[in-house]
Structure 1
Amino acid sequence: MNVSWTARSRLLGARRRTRFGMAFLLALIAVVLLVDLGADANGSEAARCARFAADAQDRRAEPVVGSGDRVVVLGDSWSAGLGLDDPADAWPSRLAGRVSVDAFSGSGFSRLASPCAGACFAQRAPRAVSGGADLVVVEGGLNDVDQPVAALRAGFTRVMRALEAPRVVVVGPASAPARAAGARRVDEVLAAMASRYDAAYVSTLDLDLAYLDDGLHLTARGHRELGDYVAQQLAALASGAHTPTPL
């Protein structure tokens, strides 16, 4: 009996060690996979940020055309023309004046709207107006839909403090299908903050724009619609007859 019991105990111990070893091996494999996935995600994110930075540089390098007031557009992927065959056809091209664009895809008012370093509006604002500006148009908000209200307000404040321009107009987010649920909240916050800082606010929430299949970015027609609407509102502001009525 003692021999049989000892053998059985040894067998059970061996089984436990085998199970423990298998569990340890599976856990180790899981950790390795997670590390690999994290590395892939970080690599993809870094590549995306690098691509957006290159696109932003290309937009800033475009020659300034037109005549009249110096107009600086500070914005996100809509101002960058992401998804267009020619980014130069993005909505700012419909504005009057000598228009220059500082746009970074995925960026917003909030510091963490984009994971890319130096992308938020406030960090780019000094560079955007370094050549002077009679009017600054700040366009964005769709990348802030998942950010806390406090972060959005703080980001707006930093932008206004960083800008040195006699006139600032803020163009809020439209109801892009992919982010319509959060756009209204952002619109309300931006409108209130613009009023606090005596900046004009143009709401685009109710515009019926044409979108790409991703439900987030505009088609060429959508850019024309948005650009013409903003140009109309800027003209109304200049004449003192600002009436932000959707198309």
Structure 2
Amino acid sequence: MRQAPAVFRMLAPLIATGVLLVGCGPSPAPITTPSGSSAPGPAQTAAADKPLRVAPAPSSLNLPVGSLYKNPANNRSELVLADVRHTAVLIGDSQSMPKDSWPQQGITAMGYKLHVVGMGGTGYVATNGKTGNYIDALQRGDWVLPFGDPPLIVIQGGGNDATQRATDAQITSNAERLLAALKKRYPGATLAMIGTLAKGVGNGGGRRTEIDALLGRIAAKHAIPFVSAGDWLTRYDAIGDLQDGVHLKASGHAKLGTALAREFTALGLMARPDTAEPAK
């Protein structure tokens, strides 16, 4: 009987320690990210998934139409338009640049207002010495895109890439870069592409017709609406409407503008009137 208290006195500290360990349980090891830092909790993760910068609605800023705005969402200067929600953006070369060009006529015939950027002598790879190709010019800010959310962005070109002998690999690489940049910058916009104006395979279309087909394959890969123009000069009897072998007279622009509007309409790209007030 005298030994029990002695044994108990010996075991008591161990028993007490065991009770504490069982009652509290082991402390969980911290979860770490690949960099070694502690992983955020659920609330922190949800917050981290949200974009750090969100572009404000144009209408909420009361910016003067025609002014440049430094968009905090992408850190780029963008042009404030009067009605960006109903304005299509056209990126192109000298086929698109003249006022009332066939690409401009085709797009406006569907009910859109228009914002045009680009320059003659440029393309997916081609440059004219004054500005870069499509993707480089846009990334450098040579051409200013609109602030807000345009519903449609159309890319036209390829003729100067043929003239400057750009390879399929170069055109594909830059087209992929351009499409990725536009999707990231305007995730809500529909992208569409117009191929390279030419005479067609059997009528001397040559490299221009080849590039038209290449652009069609790129568009198909991204499920982007595409209008092939690689035989339009022949198909629409517009060779006689050329003023210099490459560029069209007003009669040719009107002829092909009608054809483009018909093709785009068939693809479901018509403007959709929206009378709702813009989001505040």
Same fold? TM cut 0.5 = yes
Aligned partners of 2:194 and 2:228 also within 8 Å: yes
1:107 aligned partner: 122
- Measured after TM superposition, the shift of residue 68 of structure 1 is 7.0
- Decide which of 82, 101, 108 is 1:90's aligned counterpart: 101
- Measured after TM superposition, the shift of residue 89 of structure 1 is 2.1
Aligned partners of 1:173 and 1:183 also within 8 Å: yes
1:133 aligned partner: 150
1:234 aligned partner: 264
Q: Which amino acid aligns with 1:162?
A: A
- Measured after TM superposition, the shift of residue 223 of structure 1 is 1.0
Q: From the CA coordinates, give the structure whose radius of gyration is larger.
A: 2
1:194 aligned partner: 219
- Measured after TM superposition, the shift of residue 133 of structure 1 is 1.5
1:56 aligned partner: none
2:242 aligned partner: 212
Aligned partners of 2:91 and 2:116 also within 8 Å: yes
Gaps (5+ residues) in structure 2? Answer: 1-80, 271-280
Q: Kindly provide the CA deviation profile for residues 126-153 of structure 1, in whole angstroms up to 9, marking residues without a partner as x.
A: 6553333110111101111121111110
Aligned partners of 2:199 and 2:209 also within 8 Å: no
1:13-162 aligned within 5 A: 69-81=86-98, 88-91=99-102, 92-94=104-106, 95=108, 96-110=111-125, 113-125=126-138, 127-131=143-147, 132-145=149-162, 146-162=165-181
Aligned-residue CA RMSD (Å):
2.9
Identity of aligned residues (%): 24
- Measured after TM superposition, the shift of residue 67 of structure 1 is 9.7
From the superposition, tell whether residues 230 and 213 of structure 1 become closer, same or farther in structure 2 (CA, over 3 Å).
Answer: closer
Paired residues, what number?
170
Aligned residue for 1:168, secondary structure, equals strand
1:51 aligned partner: none
C-alpha distance in 2, partners of 1:107/1:234? 24
- Decide which of 154, 160, 171 is 2:194's aligned counterpart: 171
Gaps (5+ residues) in structure 1? Answer: 1-63, 82-87, 241-247
Aligned residue for 1:102, secondary structure, equals strand
Aligned residue for 2:146, secondary structure, equals coil
TM-score under structure 1 length normalisation? 0.61
Aligned residue for 2:268, secondary structure, equals helix
2:254 aligned partner: 224
